[in-house]
Amino acid sequence: MQAEKLGVNETTLKYFGAVLWGTVGGDGYVSAAEKEVNLTSGEGAVALLWAAALAAYGVMPRVSGVRRVFHVVASNDDAVRLAQLCVLFGPPMLEKEGFISHKLVEAVELGSKVSVRIEERSWRRIKGGAAVNIYISAGGVLGEFNLYLQEKVLLGFKSTDREEVELKARLLSLAGVEVRVRKEGNRDVWYIQTYTDQLAEGNEELRKGLVKAVEEALRRGLIDEEKAKRWIEKFEKGVSTWRGYKFNIGLSGGALQVKFQSTNPENIRKLKQELESLGLREGEHFTVKWSEDKRTGYIYIAREGIIELAYIAKYGADEAQRLGAASLIEHLRIKAELADKEVLVKLEELVREGESRRSLHAEGLKTIVEIEWKGRHVEVPIEVKNIKAWEDGDKLRIVVGAIIGGVEGQWTATLRRTKKNAIEGYTIARVNTPAAEKKTPRES
Best CA proximity match to 96, nearest among 156, 177, 178, 163: 178
Q: pLDDT tens digits for 94-144?
A: 554 445 677 887 888 888 889 999 999 999 999 999 999 999 999 888 999
What pLDDT was estimated at residue 158? Answer: 95
Alpha helices in 278-422 (DSSP H): 303-315, 319-339, 341-356
96 versus 285: the higher-pLDDT residue is 285
Q: What is the pLDDT of residue 437?
A: 45
- Flag whether pLDDT at 32 surpasses 50: yes
CB atoms within 10 A of CB 78: 20
CA distances from 370 to 220, 378, 381, 406 (A): 83, 6, 9, 15
Q: Is residue 424 predicted with pLDDT exceeding 90?
A: no
Contact present, 165 and 159 (Cβ < 8 Å)? yes
Is pLDDT above 60 for 79?
A: yes
Cα of first residue to Cα of last residue in the chain, in angstroms, is 63
From CA 340, how far away is CA 351, in angstroms rounded?
A: 17
Buried b / exposed e along 304-314 (16+ C-beta atoms within 10 A): bbbbbbbbbbb
Nearest-angstrom CA–CA distance, 439 and 302: 20
The lowest-confidence range among 258-272, 342-356, 367-381, 404-418 is 367-381
Specify the higher pLDDT residue, 215 or 11. 215
Do 298 and 282 touch, CB atoms closer than 8 A? no
Predicted local distance difference test score (pLDDT) of residue 106 = 83
Q: For residue 12, what is the enclosing H or E element?
A: helix 10-24
At 197 the pLDDT is 82
Q: In 3D, which of 127, 36, 18 has the Cα closest to residue 73? A: 36
pLDDT of residue 16: 84
Mean pLDDT, residues 361-380 taken together: 70
pLDDT of residue 36: 92
pLDDT-based confidence at 221, cuts 50/70/90? very high
338 has pLDDT over 80: no
Residue 395 neighbours by CB under 8 Å, 6+ apart: 414, 415, 416
Predicted pLDDT at 364: 66
Residue 96 has what pLDDT?
44
Q: How confident is the model at residue 93 (pLDDT cuts 50, 70, 90)?
A: low
Least confident of 139-148, 154-163, 246-255: 246-255
Whether the pLDDT of residue 10 is over 50: the answer is: yes
- When pLDDT is cut at 50, 70 and 90, the band that residue 379 belongs to is confident
Closest C-alpha to 180, from 22, 340, 17, 347: 340
pLDDT at position 11 is 76
How far, in Å, are 123, 142, 143, 145, 221 from residue 214 at the CA level? 11, 22, 20, 15, 11
Q: Has residue 254 got a pLDDT over 90?
A: no
Give domain limits for the chain: 3-110, 115-237, 248-356, 366-438
**Residue of 132 and 12 predicted with greater confidence:** 132
Residue 371: strand pairing partners: 378
Please give the pLDDT value at position 441: 41
pLDDT at 337: 83
Best CA proximity match to 296, nearest among 13, 44, 32, 93: 32
- Residue 426 pLDDT more than 80? no
Domain 366-438 has CATH 3.10.450: yes
On the 0-12 / 13-18 / 19+ scale of CB atoms within 10 A, 161 is: exposed
- Which of 31-40, 280-289, 362-371 has maximum average pLDDT? 280-289
CATH 3.30.70 for the 248-356 domain, yes or no: no
Q: Model confidence at 5, in pLDDT bands (50, 70, 90)? A: low
In whole angstroms, give the CA distance from residue 332 to residue 240.
Answer: 9
User: What pLDDT score was predicted for residue 440?
Assistant: 41
* Residue pLDDT, tens place only, 267-278: 899 999 999 999
Q: How confident is the model at residue 300 (pLDDT cuts 50, 70, 90)?
A: very high
* Alpha carbons 136 and 231: distance in angstroms, whole number: 20
CB-based contacts of 5, cutoff 8 Å, min separation 6:
none
Q: Which of 113-127, 196-210, 352-366 has the lowest mean pLDDT?
A: 352-366
Q: Do domains 3-110 and 248-356 have the same CATH topology?
A: yes
The mean pLDDT value of the chain amounts to: 85
Query: At a CB cut-off of 8 Å and minimum separation 6, what does 188 contact?
Result: 160
The whole-angstrom separation of Cα 62 and Cα 59 is 10
pLDDT of 329 > 90? The answer is: yes
CATH of 3-110, one of 3.10.28.10, 3.40.50.720, 1.20.120.530, 3.10.20.30: 3.10.28.10
Residue 439: predicted pLDDT: 42
Q: What is the pTM (predicted TM-score) of this model?
A: 0.61
pLDDT score, position 2: 56
Torsion of CA 122, 125, 126, 132, to 10 degrees: 30
Does position 3 have pLDDT exceeding 70, yes or no? no
Inter-residue contact 412 to 399 (CB < 8 Å):
yes
